[in-house]
């Protein structure tokens, strides 16, 4: 079946602009996660959704970052007033119902802030 | 705060060798541990998942072990092949109070594996 998809695959933006990154999880997966992978920091957790609610937002680095999930499916990560340090690969993962589900990752969105 | 360390950072071996990748974590209250592989420019592929109650998992030429008390996991790759060349990441999922888990993963920095013919 179809895996986790993310769009766009690449995004180049100018400093100060807002960007939206999209994640389509695997159908039926109730949990959705956003991570960020950058050269200096490795892979870091950003936010976790269970259904449409986000019980863990502890990884969002600043109030410029926000995310929402609608219909228990698609999620959008929004970065306002982008900065050069936001440049990274943003990865989305989903997992099926049940606490033991492994996480399935999408291919990521590479964000470059000029 | 959970910290995950992977050793070595990079490894280069000839084809056919058996090899071991190491992962250590500081907080033993884990829910499970996953090993992933990442190919250049690609997302992560889950290789093995070990629940906290388990000692090891096997899939084909891969075997992962878990020792919670010492905070260590190893990934053993038998008879390595050039197609095994990738970055291998270890990730830990912590337990919350009461034994549940939110699912957030804490990753190590990875081991870059090169298998040459």
CA A27 to chain centre: 17
Report chain B (117 residues): mean pLDDT per 10 consecutive residues. 92 96 92 93 90 94 96 97 97 78 86 96
Question: Does the distance separating the beta carbons of B103 and A103 come in below 8 Å?
Answer: yes
Residues 26-45 (B) with a CB less than 8 A from some CB of A: 31-32, 34, 36, 42-45
Q: What is the pLDDT of residue B104?
A: 86
Q: What is the pLDDT of residue A73?
A: 93
Predicted confidence (pLDDT) at residue A92 exceeds the cutoff of 80 = yes
Q: How many CA atoms lie within 13 A of B37 on its CB side?
A: 13
Facing residue for A43 by CB, picked from B31, B42, B89: B89
Question: Does the distance separating the beta carbons of A102 and B34 come in below 8 Å?
Answer: yes
Question: Does the distance separating the beta carbons of A102 and B43 come in below 8 Å?
Answer: no
The burial class, CB within 10 Å (0-12 / 13-18 / 19+), for A94 is buried
Question: Does the distance separating the beta carbons of B32 and A55 come in below 8 Å?
Answer: no
Q: What percent of chain A has pLDDT over 70?
A: 96
CA distances from B79 to A51, A83, B82 (A): 42, 45, 10
For the record, the structure tokens of B32 come out as 């499970």
Q: Does A5 touch chain B (CB under 8 A)?
A: no
Closest of B83, B54, B85, B74 to residue B6, by C-alpha:
B74
Highest mean pLDDT among A4-13, A36-45, A97-106: A4-13
Distance CA A81, CA B40 (A): 29
Confidence of residue A29 (pLDDT cuts 50, 70, 90): very high
Residue of A nearest to B105 (CA): A45
Residue of B nearest to A43 (CA): B107
| Phi, psi (rounded to 5 degrees) for A67 | -150, 150
Q: What is the pLDDT of residue A77?
A: 98
Predicted confidence (pLDDT) at residue A83 exceeds the cutoff of 90 = yes
Residues present in chain A in total: 114
Closest of A91, A38, A42 to residue B108, by C-alpha:
A42
Q: Does A31 touch chain B (CB under 8 A)?
A: yes
Q: Does B105 touch chain A (CB under 8 A)?
A: yes
Q: What is the average pLDDT score of chain A? A: 93
Q: Does B71 touch chain A (CB under 8 A)?
A: no
Predicted confidence (pLDDT) at residue A101 exceeds the cutoff of 80 = no
Higher-pLDDT residue of B42 and A51 is A51
What is the secondary structure of B13-32 as a DSSP string? EETT--EEEEEEES---EEE
Q: Which of B44, B46, B51 to mutate to test the interface with A (most CBs of A within 10 A)?
A: B44
Q: What is the pLDDT of residue A1?
A: 59
The residues, any chain, with a CB within 8 Å of residue A7's CB and separated by 6 or more, are A21, A22, A24, A109
Chains A, B: CB pairs < 8 Å: 55
Confidence of residue A55 (pLDDT cuts 50, 70, 90): confident
- Mean pLDDT for the stretch of residues A9-17: 97
């Amino acid at each position: 079946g179809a895996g986790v998809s993310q769009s766009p695959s690449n995004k180049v933006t100018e400093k100060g602009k807002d960007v939206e990154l999209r994640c389509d999880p695997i159908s039926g997966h109730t949990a959705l996660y956003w991570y960020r992978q950058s050269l200096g920091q490795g892979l870091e957790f950003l936010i976790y959704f269970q259904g449409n609610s986000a019980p863990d937002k502890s990884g969002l680095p600043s109030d410029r970052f926000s995310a929402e999930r609608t219909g228990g499916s698609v999620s959008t990560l929004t970065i306002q007033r982008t900065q050069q340090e936001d440049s990274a690969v943003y990865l989305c993962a989903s997992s099926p119902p049940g606490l033991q589900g492994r996480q399935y990752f999408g291919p990521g969105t590479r964000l470059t802030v000029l | 705060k959970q910290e995950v360390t992977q050793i070595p950072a990079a490894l280069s071996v000839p084809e056919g060798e058996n090899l071991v990748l190491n992962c250590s974590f500081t907080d033993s209250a884990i829910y499970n541990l996953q090993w992933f592989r990442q190919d250049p420019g690609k997302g992560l592929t889950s290789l093995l998942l070990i629940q906290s109650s388990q000692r090891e998992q096997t899939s084909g030429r891969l075997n992962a072990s878990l020792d919670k008390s010492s905070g260590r996991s190893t990934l053993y790759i038998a008879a390595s092949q050039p197609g095994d060349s990738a970055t291998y990441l270890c990730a830990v999922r912590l337990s919350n109070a009461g034994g549940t888990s939110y699912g957030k993963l804490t990753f190590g920095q990875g081991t870059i594996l090169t298998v040459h013919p």
